[in-house]
A and B are shown apart, each in its own frame.
Chain A
Amino acid sequence: MELIEKNNEKCMIIGINGRLDTINYSILEKRLMELLDQNVTKILVNCGQMDYVSSSGLRILLMALKRITMVKGKFVLCSLQENIREIFEISGFTTIFEIYPNEEDALRVF
């Protein structure tokens, strides 16, 4: 998995490239916590290139959402692949996360 970061004037955009699984979720966790510590509270995660997510990956996304919500920030997902979207639905995460079909739509909410 690779993280591709883009700094938009509105928010921080993180692209997840590849599989987000039990072995490498900690890379994402570490990065997100760093950003939160730097008071970056507006984050868009682009999942267009994310082929796979394990429950550990979901846990990290959930934790980030919780912490950013607490500080009145914004944590948004976009461009989920069909398979991934189904996982989100099964887990009920579609009701928790703000999910947009593409990056443009997502950027509008910031």
Chain B
Amino acid sequence: MENENLSTGNEKPGMRLLGRGSLAIRYTRFFILAFLVVFSIAFYYTFSYTRAILDQDALQRASNITDLTISRISNVIRPVEQVPYTLSGALEAENPDYSMITDLAKEFVLDDTVVFGSAIAFEPYMFDKNRYRYCHYVFETAHTIVERDLSSAEYDYLNKDWYRIPKIKGEAVWSEPYYDKGGGDTLMCTYSVPFYHWVNHKRVFAGVITMDISLQTFRHILTSARVSQTGYSYLLSRKGKLITPISEQYVNTDIRTLLLRKGDVAHDSVIDKMLLGERMFVKITDLQHVKVPSWIYSAPVPHTTWIFAITFPTRELYAGLYDFFRKLIAIFFFSLLAMMLITILITRKFVRPISRLVEATHRIGQGDFGTALPVYRSKDEISQLTNAFSLMKDELAHYIRNLQEATAAREKMESELSVAHDIQMGLLPKNFPSRDDWDLAALLDPARAVGGDLYDFYFLDDDHLFIAIGDVSGKGVPASLFMVSARTQFRSRISLNVPLNQSVYEINKEICRENPNQMFVTFIAGIVDLKNDTLTYCNAGHNPPFLIRPGGKTEKLKDVHGIPLGIFEHATYGSGTVIFSPGDALLLYTDGVTEALNKADRFYGDEPMLEIVRRNADLCPAELIHRLENDLLDFMKGADQADDITLLVLKSKKMQGQESKSPDVKQVRLLNKLGELNRMVASLEQVSELWDIPPKITMELNLILEELFTNIVFYAYDDGRDHEIILTFSRLAPDSIQIVLEDDGREFNILEKNTSDTVNKPIEDRQIGGLGIHFVKQLVNDIRYERRDGKNIVLLIRNY
């Protein structure tokens, strides 16, 4: 048991070291959490900062690239714009040389890589008074110059934007990108410069000269204008149309439509500003991919109405950053893991002395004060704790030793009191022999280990029963001693030969004489004539008894025949008589019953007791007392028992016209007291007379029974309690009697006792004893012994 306890004691702290609530785990958890928070903040700050730098850098690069690209575009466009001005000057001269101008245009178209074609278109009748339209177009295809007349009515150049807008505006204009069907048959932008003729001294619009540039031209410039791998750039017209293709399908498409298609709806105002020619650097949705955020940088191209825009996905811009942070986080988590392990190990190292201390404390807790506390050398908090524990252990051991001594002393006292209690209880008769005519039961429940109440009953002879109840003033040991002394007095003085009141007088005198402490006892003594159903009693200042009639009617026996015993030496006493009818019962009690207090300090009183009696009048005395006791205990629940509780009930079991038992069997129940010999002899004599047994045989039977009975009284019991010995006479034949003697004492086989030496040895060597058993064997015809159900049963037969 001890070892088992120790082993569980050992395991517990060990488990605690790495258990859920262990210091190591808690400490590590806290540590890791703190680390996570601090690092997350640091990470976030670094990340944002780095991204801002990257953005700044990207802006710078985009801006540079934009500037470069714009200048390159300008370089291409400037000559294109220059030539028509020159030519328009030529066209505005008087009598212009059209063939020279056309040749110049042709030459320019051929020379310049950007210019795709050039047209000279006239107002109706301006070129030739006979021709409504005149438009001469030259364009380059596969490095040769093709000339085409676009004067046809179907082409109707007069309604083309490249013709109408400069005419209306009166200035050179870049057209929106358009597909020139029937003209250049390609996607182009046209720079149209109006020229004028003097007619009647008036400057009159005469037509436009145009330079077409193929939008293909800017492709190679724009392809090189990229910020990142997947970035790209493009040109937008003022109206938002894509001048250069992003990919083949998105030419001439409105940028707003594109953005809408890619799921961006929030940037219309940004686009508006962009188209107005503001330099912008904003984050919007990529034009090629759905919901991919990307940076866009835009700037107007000087001289033209175009907007240059360069764009690149933020993802790509941050790719390096993301990659770096992924690696950083991985490294961080590995470090964290390592840190966690290290923390656990270190904490365990620090906690181990505490665990050992816990183990030792466990053992001390189980009472093993010999346990040595672990030695801990460092001078830190743990060593202070160990010292404190050591001090506590010593103090505790000292305290427990004192406690044990005090407890032992108290136990000794209590055990002595408990012995005293047993002795006092042992003095009280317990079992009333089971009879057909009378029954009696009694209860004494002392308030302390020993008490001053008493009751008593015993047979004065076969037909007379003495009963008594008393209450000594005071409680505890003095009262109990006084009670024992009083009991001894009446046990020795009550006799059938002296009137009861005379005996009580004598007893009082004796008690007064031996009463230095002036104690007294209230007392009722009575002698019941069992045959004639009368009670002679003397009430010396005790609570009045009650007579209980069958059916529950109760009568108070109010007479008091004298003052309590022990007060006045010359006090005289009277006596009274009660006649029992069949079924009547007598209830004796002490004031411990009627004056029992409950928690509310109220007395139990007569009435509840009588109520129980009335309701249970037909029960046997033992059961009635049991009910009374239960009711009383219920009443007192939670309160201390203040006084001894004593109850005695005697009841006549006789019925009207009761018949006696079978004449051939007679049974007597005896107590294991020598005094019962008288009753035994009386019963034997009764049987002898009844069955005509000769006096000599009767004397021999007497001898036999006396031997057997005294043997039982002296040797069968050693518990000091009352026991019942059952004696049964049976008439087997007119000249044969069987006697059975039963007792529940220690096993003793009378037949095994060797008796031969008792008779045959010389007088000096004879053992005194064993003689009686020798008689028994000699004087019977048959004797048998049996041990059955814990009882010694001796059966003997005597013929006569």
Tell me, yes or no, whether A binds B.
yes
Residues of A participating in the B interface, judged by any CB pair closer than 8 Å: 21-23, 51-56, 58-59, 62-63, 65-66, 69, 82-83, 86-87, 90-92, 96
Question: CB distance B775 to A87 under 8 Å?
Answer: yes
Contacts of B763 in A (CB 8 A): 62, 65-66, 69, 96
Chain B residues within CB distance 8 Å of chain A: 674-675, 677-678, 695-696, 699-700, 702-703, 706-707, 710, 758-760, 763-764, 766, 768-769, 771-772, 774-775, 778-779
29 A-B contact pairs sorted by A residue (CB < 8 Å):
A22-B710, A23-B675, A51-B699, A52-B699, A52-B703, A54-B703, A54-B706, A54-B710, A54-B772, A55-B703, A55-B706, A55-B772, A55-B775, A59-B768, A59-B769, A59-B771, A62-B763, A63-B768, A66-B764, A83-B695, A83-B696, A83-B700, A87-B700, A87-B775, A90-B774, A91-B771, A91-B774, A92-B759, A96-B763
Task: Find chain A residues with CB under 8 A from B678 CB.
Answer: 23
Can you name 9 extra interface pairs (CB under 8 A) apart from A56-B772, A83-B700, A87-B700?
A23-B674, A23-B677, A54-B703, A54-B707, A54-B710, A59-B769, A90-B778, A91-B759, A92-B758
Alpha-carbon distance between A90 and B699 when the two chains are bound, in angstroms = 14
- Tell whether A58 pairs with B674 under 8 Å between CB atoms, given A22-B706, A66-B764: no
Chain B residues whose C-beta falls within 8 Å of the C-beta of A82 in the assembled complex: 696
Smallest CB separation, A55 vs chain B (Å): 3
Which residue of B has the minimal Cβ distance to A51?
A: B699
Chain A residue with minimal CB distance to B675?
A23
Query: Which of B695, B760, B768 contacts A62, CB < 8 Å?
Result: B768
Say yes or no: B706 contacts A58, CB within 8 Å. no
Residues of chain A with a CB closer than 8 A to B706's CB: 21-22, 54-55
Residues of B within 8 Å of A52, CB to CB, are: 699, 702-703
| Chain A positions within 8 Å of B699 at CB level | 51-52, 83
Complex contacts, A58 vs chain B, CB 8 Å? 771
Complex Cα–Cα for A56 and B713 (A): 14
Q: Compute how far the CA of A87 lies from the CA of B696 in the bound complex, rounded to whole angstroms.
A: 10
Q: Which residue of A lies closest to B770 (CB)?
A: A55
On whether the beta carbons of B674 and A22 are closer than 8 Å, the reply is yes
A91 touches B775 (CB 8 A): yes
- Residues in B neighbouring A59, C-beta threshold 8 A: 768-769, 771
Q: Which residues of B contact A23 (CB under 8 A)?
A: 674-675, 677-678
**Min CB gap B758→A, angstroms:** 8
Q: Please give, as numbers and ranges, the residues of chain A lying within 8 Å of B760 by CB-CB distance.
A: 92
Report the Cα distance A92→B710, complex, angstroms.
Answer: 22
Ranked nearest first, the 5 interchain pairs of A and B with the lowest CB-CB distance are A55-B772, A92-B759, A90-B778, A22-B710, A55-B771
CA A87 – CA B701 in complex, angstroms?
A: 12
B677 A21 Cβ-Cβ under 8 A: yes
Residue on A with the closest CB to B705?
A54
Chain A residue at minimum C-beta to C-beta distance from B678: A23
B362 CB to closest chain A CB (Å) equals 66
- A21→B705 CA distance, assembly (Å): 12
| A22 surroundings in chain B (CB, below 8 A) | 674, 677, 706, 710
**Minimum CB–CB distance for A59 against chain B, Å:** 5
Q: How far is the CA of A53 from the CA of B703 in the complex (A)?
A: 7
Residues of A within 8 A of B677 (CB): 21-23
Which residues of the partner chain A approach B695 to less than 8 Å between Cβ atoms?
A: 83
Residues of B within 8 A of A21 (CB): 677, 706
B678 to chain A, nearest CB (A): 7
Smallest CB separation, A93 vs chain B (Å): 9
A22 to B712, CA, bound (A): 13
Question: How far is B243's CA from A27's CA once the two chains are assembled, in angstroms?
Answer: 155
**CA A22 – CA B764 in complex, angstroms?**
23
Residues of the A chain whose Cβ atoms lie less than 8 Å from the Cβ of B769: 59
Q: Find chain A residues with CB under 8 A from B774 CB.
A: 90-91
Question: Are A55 and B702 in touch, CB under 8 angstroms?
Answer: no
Residues on the A chain within 8 Å of B779, using CB: 90
Closest Cβ of chain B: how far from A67's Cβ, in Å? 12
* Cα–Cα, bound, A55→B711 (Å): 11
List chain A residues, Cβ under 8 A from B766: 62
Question: CB-nearest residue of chain A relative to B702?
Answer: A52
A56: chain B residues at CB < 8 Å are 710, 772
CA distance A91 to B772 in the complex (A): 9
Q: A59-B771, A82-B696, A92-B759 are in contact. Are A87 and B674 (CB under 8 A)?
A: no
- B758 contact set on A, CB distance < 8 A: 91-92
